[in-house]
Amino acid sequence: MKKIAFKLLVPSLLILAFPALRADDAGATNAAPPAPAPEKKLAFVQTISVTSPPYCSDINGDTTISISAPGMKTADVKCWKQGPGFGTDSTVGTMTLDDQGKGSIVFHANDYPHGPITVRILGTSDTTRDNCNLQLYNKGGVSWNEGIPKSDPPAADGMKLIFADDFNKPLSISGKDNSATYYSHKVPNGTQDFSSLRFSDLESPQNPFLQVDSYLRIRADAALNSAGLISSIKNDDSGVKANLPCYFECRFIAPSAPGTWPAFWLLTDYMHDVNEGKPVTSMPVDELDIIEAVGGDGPGSPNGTGEAKYKDLYQITPHAWNQPNNAALADAAYKDMHDPISMSKAGVPSSWFESFHTYGCKITDTDTIYYLDNIEVARHKTLPASKKYPLFFIINLATGGGWPVNLSRYNGLADMYVDFVRVYGDPSTN
């Protein structure tokens, strides 16, 4: 995985103003309408600090959320709520802040989803605004779409389930033991690890992994200099992989702290040749980034304006490494898509950090197709190595990706929660 450069496409805005027709305007239909008032731009500043509860902490029942936001007058508090389909965006309430910018509100956690949630705090003054995303784990609440669905995904029609993990058992992740289900680095031997906070092992004091209820928590911790990755194959080339036709999917919620870099992606298997002594740089490898998202609001961040309409973007990126005409292959595949992916434009109303979503990829002889909550969002012609070699998956919470990393607002912590991962294929070829 290379550094990611978001190509944010900022559409021009067409604002149509239709002033209300008053009774005394009768007969004045030829009069020119008044010019609309110019939109007031609020400067984006980072000023909101949550004083309780702690970031990335557990809550249960009614919980008082207190903030300090010097210079702000009010703060709207929102959280995604369970319901039919994608659920709804719920307004918890509005804090009226005192002269020091302090305020609080009671969050009725039992009315919201069980498990990982993001409480969004949107502060404003006459001239400034700020967004703060408080990650919490709701020990109470309402179970909503948790765990592996009973039905198979539509994209896997005609295939058989070859692997599934609901993360409801003790974790099997290791940086040393090839009998574990997952390897905690990028093969071979972590030589291609890419996070600015180091990918660390379950066995180490910097352990970034925790099994919570039926979730895998991957934590980025600035104090421990640690982040986390799981690979479905290990250094001896054992593990979970699938030949085409195949389908991979993963459901998770990720953090939006500045510089956090959550991803779910596939690589064609190169470890067989590496274990025969060939250099990894000589192997033809396809990389299919099903989702790469980067956190951060405000100037110098992926969401450079901090505006709501840009919050739900993520990147799907195909690569063809170490192959003839590799740049042309990847460029042709990229041009077939419409990056960055806007979740709202796809019909999904919440973003990757507001609630859980399922990200999938189907690879056939002809096409590679990407899905968001079973909705097709992109496709391109299948790349050469994908037709020849099996693919394996990686799930990670990294930091960096070419963007500044600053977890200080969130006490140095950011959490990614993985609900499940599934792999489907043709039993005759897997």
pLDDT per residue as tens digits for the range 99-109: 999 999 999 99
Q: What does the block give as tokens for 148?
A: 């592996």
Each residue's pLDDT tens digit, 56-79: 999 999 999 999 999 999 999 999
The per-residue pLDDT for range 225-246, each reduced to its tens digit, is 999 999 999 999 999 999 999 9
**Largest interatomic CA distance in the chain:** 87
Q: Could you tell me the strand order of the sheet in which 102-108 lies?
A: 49-52, 62-68, 102-108
Is the pLDDT score of 410 beyond 50?
yes
Query: What pLDDT score does 29 carry?
Result: 43
Query: pLDDT at residue 330 above 90?
Result: no
State the pTM of this model: 0.90
Model confidence at 315: pLDDT above 90: yes
- Strand locations in 205-326 (E): 209-212, 215-221, 226-231, 246-253, 260-268, 285-292, 313-321
- The whole-angstrom separation of Cα 409 and Cα 51 is 11
Give the pair of three-digit tokens for residue 105.
């509100």
pLDDT at 325: 86
| Three-state DSSP class for residue 129 | strand
Q: Are 193 and 229 in contact (CB under 8 A)?
A: yes
Higher-scoring residue by pLDDT: 40, 170: 170
pLDDT confidence of residue 19: 30
Per-residue pLDDT tens digits for 184-218: 999 999 999 999 999 999 999 999 999 999 999 99
**What confidence category does residue 8 fall into, taking pLDDT thresholds of 50, 70 and 90?**
very low
Given a cut of 80, is residue 428 above it in pLDDT?
no
Neighbouring C-alpha atoms within 13 Å toward the C-beta of 232: 25
Query: What is the per-residue pLDDT for 234?
Result: 98
* Residue whose C-alpha is closest to residue 155's, from 246, 263, 268: 246
* Distance between CA atoms of residues 371 and 357, nearest Å: 10
Strand partners, 391: 242, 268
Q: Do residues 192 and 163 lie in contact, with contact meaning Cβ atoms separated by under 8 Å?
A: no
Tens-digit pLDDT profile for residues 289-302? 999 999 987 776 77
- Residue 179 makes CB contacts below 8 A (sequence gap 6+) with none
| pLDDT value, residue 13 | 25
pLDDT at 401: 86
To the nearest whole number, what is the mean pLDDT of the chain? Answer: 89
| Strand 128-138 to 57-59 pairing | parallel
Q: Show the tokens assigned to 221.
A: 């911790």
Work out the average pLDDT over 77-85: 97
Q: How far apart are CA 220 and CA 331, in angstroms?
A: 32
Weakest-pLDDT range from 6-15, 43-52, 121-130, 204-213? 6-15
Of 166, 176, 135, 363, residue with least CA distance to 265: 363
Confidence of residue 307 (pLDDT cuts 50, 70, 90): low
3-state secondary structure of 396: strand
Cα distance between residue 197 and residue 401, in whole Å: 11
Determine the pLDDT at residue 364.
97
Distance CA 264, CA 56 (A): 22
Give yes or no for a contact between 229 and 415, defined as CB atoms under 8 angstroms apart: no
Give the chain's domains with CATH numbers: 43-138 (2.60.40.10), 154-425 (2.60.120.200)
Predicted pLDDT at 311: 77
Give the pLDDT band of residue 16 (cuts 50, 70, 90).
Answer: very low
The arithmetic mean of pLDDT across residues 12-41, rounded, is: 43
How many CA atoms are closer than 13 Å to the CA of 79, on its beta-carbon side? 26
Q: Is the pLDDT of residue 25 over 50?
A: no
Stretch 111-126: mean pLDDT? 97
pLDDT above 60 for 10: no
Give yes or no for a contact between 356 and 419, defined as CB atoms under 8 angstroms apart: yes
Identify whether 404 is preceded by a cis peptide bond (ω within 30 of 0): no
Classify burial at 28, counting beta carbons within 10 Å of its beta carbon; exposed 0-12, middle 13-18, buried 19 or more.
exposed
**pLDDT greater than 80 at residue 21:** no
Average pLDDT on 140-160 reads 97
- Least confident interval from 28-42, 342-356, 375-389, 394-408: 28-42
Query: Which two three-digit tokens encode residue 240?
Result: 């979970």
Yes or no: say if 172 and 182 are a contact pair by the CB < 8 Å rule.
yes
Q: Which of 61, 64, 87 has the alpha carbon at shortest distance from 77?
A: 64
pLDDT > 60? residue 20? no
Secondary structure (DSSP) of 263-280:
EEEEEE--HHHHTTT--G
pLDDT at 27: 39
Closest CA to 339 of 318, 320, 309: 318
Joined together, the tokens standing for residue 129 give 């605004």
Kindly give the pairing relationship between strand 413-425 and strand 246-253. Answer: antiparallel
